[in-house]
């Protein structure tokens, strides 16, 4: 099965019309920007798929000149993710600002809560532990 066939099968299984959903989300972004009387959109761009989709939707809805992506790495961020975020923003033609949030996280003593970067866990296990810790502190 080639990629396009797989994509068509996925569309049928999901029972959505991606083009229609995309237009709906673009309209939502544009409407709220205007309703809130803002001159543009600011979003967080991590280098992952979810934030990349949001960045593309924002660009399509309000234009590249009104879209700003904040890339906020911290000391444990993977350099590849930062590079992916910068490259994708460049490809979209949107502005970026890189803000290292390590000093803020240190002041909040975040690294004392979950110093998992120092323990040789697999990425999957580390992610699971962090989710459990967040759930615990949300109570």
pLDDT digits (tens, 9 = 90+) for 84-109: 999 999 999 999 999 999 999 888 88
Please state the rounded mean pLDDT for residues 2-13: 74
Residue 117's pLDDT is what?
A: 58
Residue 30's pLDDT is what?
A: 96
Q: What angle do CA 61, 64, 67 make, to 5 degrees?
A: 80
pLDDT digits (tens, 9 = 90+) for 111-138: 777 555 566 667 777 677 777 776 776 6
Class of 3-108 in CATH: alpha beta
Beta-strand (E) ranges in the chain? 41-44, 67-71, 95-98
* Residue 70 β-bridge partners: 44, 97
* Residue 69 β-bridge partners: 43, 96
């Amino acid at each position: 099965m080639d990629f396009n066939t797989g994509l068509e099968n996925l569309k049928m299984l999901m029972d959505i019309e991606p083009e229609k959903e995309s237009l709906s989300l673009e309209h939502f972004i544009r409407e709220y920007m205007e309703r809130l009387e803002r001159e543009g959109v600011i979003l967080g761009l991590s280098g992952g798929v979810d934030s990349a989709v949001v960045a593309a939707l924002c660009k399509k809805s309000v234009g590249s000149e009104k879209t700003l992506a904040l890339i906020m790495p911290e000391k444990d961020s993977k350099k590849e993710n930062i590079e992916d975020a910068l490259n994708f923003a460049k490809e979209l033609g949107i502005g970026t600002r890189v803000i290292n949030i390590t000093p803020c996280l240190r002041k909040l003593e975040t690294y004392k809560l979950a110093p998992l970067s120092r323990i040789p866990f697999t990425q999957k296990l580390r992610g699971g532990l962090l989710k459990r810790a967040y759930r615990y502190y949300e109570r």
